[in-house]
């Protein structure tokens, strides 16, 4: 099927980024959230990011205005039912995702493709709780969505070929590159990235280096654009911990055990940039290491 309209569930950092790139590529987008304030903020973030692209001459003013005109918002998840493709981009908690799909499925057209932007949770398991496991798959964008070029496409055990082909065509229309992944915990990117971040936290926990020396070592010694602890703060320490728990539970290997210090930061509510403190304190003019 040709996809023309897209519903996005969740207006946070990932959801507004997905709405941005979809609208810019010509899709009609409905963005849903349970909070009107989140929807209003998402629209302002999308407009600000489009303005940045205009100022850098990546797009024209006309492109920006057309994209903004294709985005609408709704507090009612049922209004996404007529979309050709729905992308769930809510928080990385499985029980939340199940509740979203349960409330959404009764309103969907029979041909609608249902997807999740999950970064680690089993696609097969999520699909099994819907009425369309053959039309369900993982559609995992990288953060920040307008900048990052990769999309992981993850097939569940029941996902059919037409669904995969339709989603692959969407990725191509977005001008991004698709990486096909099998449905194993955390897929490709986070299966490799999160244990590296977790090991960086262990390196801090054991006193091998401090926050600044660990990040500088990886930036200058491994040519990473961002140090692992800085990157963890950008992603969100709660998200990092959730993915490590999925890896540990799903694969049963002690090498995926989350570092106790990562758990401690999350317990303290120090989740990174979004909460103002993580491995760095962002409340001043410049980020300052917290250890």
| Binding site members | 10-15, 33, 92, 97, 119, 143, 274
Of the candidates 250, 229, 232, the one whose C-alpha atom is nearest the C-alpha of residue 241 is 232
* Contact (CB, 8 A) for 115 and 167: yes
Residue 134 appears among annotated catalytic residues: no
| Annotated catalytic residue, options 49, 117, 120, 140 | 140
Which 3 state secondary structure label does DSSP give 213?
helix
Of the residues 119, 120, 122, 198, only one is catalytic, namely 119
- Cβ atoms of residues 280 and 290 within 8 Å: yes
Please give the annotated binding residues for NAD(+), written as ranges.
10-15, 33, 92, 97, 119, 143, 274
**Other CB atoms within 10 Å distance of the CB of residue 131:** 13
Residue 117 appears among annotated catalytic residues = no
- Is 128 a known active-site residue? no
Rounded to 5°, the CA angle 136-112-34 comes to: 85
Q: Give the CA count within 13 Å in the CB-facing half-sphere of 17.
A: 17
Choose the catalytic residue: 16, 117, 190, 198: 190
- Asked if the peptide bond before residue 128 counts as cis, ω within 30 degrees of 0, the response is no
| Helix, strand, coil tally for the chain in percent (to 5) | 50, 15, 35
Q: Which residues contact 99 (CB under 8 A, 6 or more apart)?
A: none
Out of 117, 122, 152, 230, the active site residue is 152
87 phi and psi, to 5 degrees?
-115, 115
Strands (E), 99-187: 113-116, 136-141, 150-155, 177-182
Bridge partners of residue 155, in order along the sequence: 137, 182
Q: What are phi and psi of 152, to 5 degrees?
A: -85, 125
Q: Which residues are catalytic?
A: 119, 140, 152, 190
């Amino acid at each position: 099927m040709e996809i023309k309209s897209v519903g996005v569930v969740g207006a946070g950092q990932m959801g507004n980024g997905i709405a941005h790139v979809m609208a810019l590529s010509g899709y009609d987008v409905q963005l849903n959230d349970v909070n009107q304030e989140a929807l209003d903020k998402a629209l302002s973030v999308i407009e600000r990011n489009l303005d940045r692209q205009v100022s850098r001459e990546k797009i024209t003013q006309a492109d920006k205005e057309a994209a903004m005109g294709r985005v609408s918002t709704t507090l009612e998840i049922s209004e996404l039912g007529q979309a050709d493709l729905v992308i769930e981009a809510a928080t990385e908690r499985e029980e939340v995702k199940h509740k979203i799909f349960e409330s959404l499925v009764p309103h969907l057209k029979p041909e609608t493709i249902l997807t999740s932007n999950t970064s680690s949770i089993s696609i097969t398991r999520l699909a099994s709780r819907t009425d369309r496991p053959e039309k369900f798959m993982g559609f995992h964008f990288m953060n920040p969505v307008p900048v990052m070029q990769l999309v992981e496409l993850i097939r569940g055990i029941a996902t059919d070929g037409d669904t995969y082909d339709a989603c692959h065509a969407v990725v191509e229309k977005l001008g991004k590159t698709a990486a096909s992944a099998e449905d194993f915990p955390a897929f490709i990117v986070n299966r490799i990235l999160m244990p590296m971040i977790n090991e960086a936290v262990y390196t801090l926990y054991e006193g091998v280096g401090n926050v600044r020396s660990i990040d500088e070592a990886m930036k200058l010694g491994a040519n990473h654009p961002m140090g692992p602890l800085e990157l963890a703060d950008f992603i969100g320490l709660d998200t990092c911990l959730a993915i490590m728990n999925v890896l540990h539970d799903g694969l049963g290997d002690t090498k995926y055990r989350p570092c106790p210090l990562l758990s401690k930061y999350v317990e303290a509510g120090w989740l990174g940039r979004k909460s103002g403190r993580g491995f760095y304190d962002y409340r001043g003019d410049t980020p300052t290491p917290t250890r």
